């Protein structure tokens, strides 16, 4: 049976693109975008696990029903990357936008919406790993206030290092 998208699934818009919460009928689209855009790929069970546990922080970008990007995240409890304390961290597991749709602000909108959702899950700061050679992604994260916290040596299976990047999430009293 077809699942008609509800208006409340839309959390933001960027031009003609809608940022929506992921639903399981979009799994094949998201897995295809992940394979097209990144060497780090996962079994379908991993996508479903993230969706079931952190549904508001698994988002897609869609234009005329075509999925062109996604972000998926989780919340972890552990040592802060910003100070010496235990804290809840929002972890960006994976983000990608299809080549024909880049530099339009889609990743920015996905990341901002995910940060808001992760705050609702109690996250106090954000963290992610990114290849040290991935200039577009590093530029995106820096623009949104992330800082390089440390280098994770040989983090990727091909031996490349990662930057661990992190940022503090602001307490907001002006948002609903
Ligand atoms: N070169 C330099 N800066 C860039 C580039 C680029 N190619 N792309 C984005 N940026 C920076 C710019 O500052 C840009 O602002 P501007 O366009 O006003 O100059 C800013 O990031 C925001 O760009 P968006 O349009 O929001 O980003 P986009 O929708 O194009 O998506 C992304 C960026 C996700 C990195 C995309 O290039 C992509 O899918 N790459 C392949 C997959 C990938 O590397 N994902 C991240 C892996 S790490 C992880 O998942 C935790
Ligand atoms: Zn990670």
- pLDDT at residue 56 in the model: 97
- pLDDT at residue 96 in the model: 98
Return the ligand 1 atom nearest residue 131 CA: 48
Classify 10-124 by CATH class: alpha beta
Q: How far is ligand 2, taken at its centre, from the CA of residue 92, in Å?
A: 6
Query: CA-to-CA distance for 66 and 56, rounded, in angstroms?
Result: 20
State the average pLDDT over residues 127-145.
Answer: 98
Q: Report which protein residue has its CA nearest ligand 1's atom 1.
A: 136
- pLDDT at residue 80 in the model: 97
* Domain assignments of the chain as residue spans, ordered by start: 10-124
Tallying the residues shown for the chain, one arrives at 176
Compute the half-sphere exposure of residue 86: CA atoms within 13 Å on the CB side of its CA. Answer: 3
Ligand nearest 72 Cα, by number?
Answer: 1
Strands (E), 52-144: 58-63, 66-79, 86-97, 125-131
Q: How far is ligand 1, taken at its centre, from the CA of residue 139, in Å?
A: 7
Query: Residue 176: pLDDT above 50?
Result: no
Query: Could you read off the pLDDT of 73-88 as tens digits, one per residue?
Result: 999 999 999 989 999 9
List, in order, residues 6 or more apart from 52 with CB less than 8 Å away.
none
Query: Could you read off the pLDDT of 32-56 as tens digits, one per residue?
Result: 999 999 999 999 999 999 999 999 9
- pLDDT at residue 27 in the model: 98
Query: Residue 174: pLDDT above 70?
Result: no
Burial string for 106-127 (b: 16+ CB within 10 Å, else e) reads bbebbbbbbbbbbbebebbbbb
Q: Ligand 1: residues within 6 Å at CB?
A: 37-38, 92, 94-97, 102-108, 128, 130, 134-137, 139-140, 143
Ligand nearest 131 Cα, by number?
Answer: 1
Query: CA-to-CA distance for 51 and 90, rounded, in angstroms?
Result: 14
Ligand nearest 70 Cα, by number?
Answer: 1
φ, ψ (nearest 5 deg) of residue 151 = -100, 130
Query: CA-to-CA distance for 45 and 48, rounded, in angstroms?
Result: 5
């Amino acid at each position: 049976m077809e699942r008609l998208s509800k208006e409340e699934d839309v959390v933001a818009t960027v031009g003609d693109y809608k940022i929506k919460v992921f639903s399981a009928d979009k799994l094949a689209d998201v897995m295809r975008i992940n394979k097209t855009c990144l060497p780090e790929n996962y079994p379908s069970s991993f996508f479903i696990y993230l969706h079931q546990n952190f549904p508001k922080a698994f988002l897609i970008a869609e234009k005329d029903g075509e999925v062109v990007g996604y972000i998926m995240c989780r919340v972890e409890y552990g040592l802060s990357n910003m100070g010496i304390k235990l804290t809840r961290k929002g972890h960006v597991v994976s983000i990608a936008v299809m080549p024909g749709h880049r530099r339009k602000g889609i990743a920015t909108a996905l990341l901002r919406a995910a940060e808001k959702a992760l705050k609702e899950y109690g996250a106090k700061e954000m963290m992610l790993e990114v290849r040290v050679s991935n200039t577009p992604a590093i530029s995106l994260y820096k623009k949104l206030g992330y800082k390089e916290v440390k280098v994770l040596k040989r983090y990727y299976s091909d031996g490349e290092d990662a930057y661990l990047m992190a940022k503090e999430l602001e307490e907001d009293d002006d948002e609903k």
